[in-house]
Amino acid sequence: MAEVNIQRLEKHYGAFHAVRGIDLEIPDGEFTVLVGPSGCGKSTLLRTIAGLEEASGGSISINGKVVNDDRPRDRDVAMVFQDYALYPHMTVANNIGFGLKARKMPKAEIEKRVGEAAQMLGIVPLLERFPRQLSGGQRQRVAIGRAIVRNPSIFLFDEPLSNLDAQLRDEMRGEIKRLHQDIATTMIYVTHDQIEAMTLADRIVLMRDGLIEQQGAPLDLFERPATTFVAGFLGSPKMSFLPGRLGARDGQVGVAVGEHFMPLPQGRAPDTVKGEKSVLLGLRPEHISRAQGEAPTPGSVRYDALIDLVQPTGSRSYATFRLGREPVVAELQAHDVSRAGQKLALDINMNRASIFDAETGRAI
């Protein structure tokens, strides 16, 4: 059980500024996911929390105690590495028990705890094997077992699933989530995969160029992205961005994309609009659906689209069309769209649309 408090943390590697003054508070028991493109500093941040990297500035506290100068072993953290980092010259049982041995635990107690962890992860039959005799998924389980058995106050995961194939990744993702439900220990998890971030996190911390771009509950970030970067990073297929002009026409506030004026429903529109302003209109694929009925539902805009690309996924199909000059992706029911070249009336739900300042990229 532990809370982590990070203040103005900096990390330099020579001339490279990997972490640029981050403030972050992680409450006890929370599952926090650090996510962002490669090179954004998320792994560096995690490794600095673990004590594997030295902070160049700022402080890290665990349970109110500054740990900057503590060795990794004194921080009571456990870490799961991307390449598993199992000890190849030890059996699975010795791999899992190695950390307990370091803490001079009696042999019988080590055996008991290793047995319990193995039971929990379903790897009891593997205990006498060596890492090279295991599959990728089994290795990952052993790596997690090595962390669990220590009963640490914080779990750190550094892209633990990125070396697994897609199916196994889904399975292990579920198990990690369940693990957190069961033991409710503080977990900090690094990934570049936005689906992992969305599914696992109590809170997502989205990083970019060594800074936190936005943090919050997954759905908050998804539905109310603060910047175009956040909006584009979360969601698949990603949000379509349409350059347009925000302004009033016939007393209604809306966004003009090319010659199409798309009125914004009340509540979604900014309170005051002075003249016109260059904006980016952000539309998520799932907020566009096939038109039903005579008139669009309130808050929606009807658009006659010429579909130019269809990508079926089975349950849903992604249809690409052009609005103005820009391509837009719509997520439709599989049977609502059949082929490219088809004409289709679509309703765009403007209640859910995001609007960003074209210059700063920040949400309006």
Question: 69 burial class (0-12, 13-18, 19+ CB within 10 angstroms)?
Answer: exposed
Three-state SS for the chain is CCCEEEEEEEEEECCEEEEEEEEEEECCCCEEEEECCCCCCHHHHHHHHHCCCCCCEEEEEECCEECCCCCHHHCCEEEECCCCCCCCCCCHHHHHHHHHHHCCCCHHHHHHHHHHHHHHHCCHHHCCCCHHHCCHHHHHHHHHHHHHCCCCCEEEEECCCCCCCHHHHHHHHHHHHHHHHHHCCEEEEEECCHHHHHHHCCEEEEEECCEEEEEECHHHHHHCCCEHHHHHHCCCCCCEEEEEEEEEECCEEEEEECCEEEECCCCCCCCCCCCCEEEEEEECHHHEEECCCCCCCCCEEEEEEEEEEEEECCCEEEEEEEECCEEEEEEEEHHHCCCCCCEEEEEEEHHHCEEEECCCCEEC
Residues of span 98-117 touching another protein by CB under 8 A = 98-99, 102-103
* Strand-pair category, 211-216 with 326-333: unpaired
CA distance 293 to 351: 19
Smaller CB separation from another protein, 77 or 346:
77
Smaller CB separation from another protein, 52 or 345:
52
Residues of span 290-329 touching another protein by CB under 8 A = none
Q: Assess 276 for contact with another protein (CB under 8 A).
A: no
**Among residues 40, 67, 79, 212, the one that binds another protein under rule CB under 8 A:** 79
CB of 273 to another protein, least distance (A): 54
**Among residues 63, 68, 82, 351, the one that binds another protein under rule CB under 8 A:** 82
CB of 203 to another protein, least distance (A): 23
CB of 52 to another protein, least distance (A): 5
Stretch that binds another protein, among 85-93, 177-185, 244-252, 292-300 (CB under 8 A): 85-93
CB of 79 to another protein, least distance (A): 5
**Among residues 26, 33, 34, 78, the one that binds another protein under rule CB under 8 A:** 78
Contact status, residue 156 vs residue 72, Cβ threshold 8 Å? no
**Among residues 39, 85, 115, 163, the one that binds another protein under rule CB under 8 A:** 85
Smaller CB separation from another protein, 57 or 72:
72
Query: What mask, x for binding another protein by CB under 8 A, covers residues 140 to 179?
Result: ------x---x-----x-----------------------
Token pair belonging to 196: 């992992």
Type of residue found at 181: Q
Question: 240 burial class (0-12, 13-18, 19+ CB within 10 angstroms)?
Answer: buried
Smaller CB separation from another protein, 97 or 254:
97
Smaller CB separation from another protein, 71 or 325:
71
Q: Assess 77 for contact with another protein (CB under 8 A).
A: yes
First to last CA, the chain: 39
Residues of span 327-356 touching another protein by CB under 8 A = none
Smaller CB separation from another protein, 179 or 301:
179
**Among residues 89, 107, 224, 249, the one that binds another protein under rule CB under 8 A:** 89
Number of residues in contact with another protein, rule: CB under 8 A? 24
Smaller CB separation from another protein, 79 or 323:
79
Q: Assess 136 for contact with another protein (CB under 8 A).
A: no
CB of 260 to another protein, least distance (A): 53
Q: Assess 88 for contact with another protein (CB under 8 A).
A: yes
CA distance 4 to 189: 13
CB of 202 to another protein, least distance (A): 23
**Among residues 1, 16, 37, 73, the one that binds another protein under rule CB under 8 A:** 73
CB of 132 to another protein, least distance (A): 9
The residues of the shown chain that bind another protein, judged by CB under 8 A, are 50-52, 71-73, 77-79, 81-83, 85-89, 98-99, 102-103, 146, 150, 156
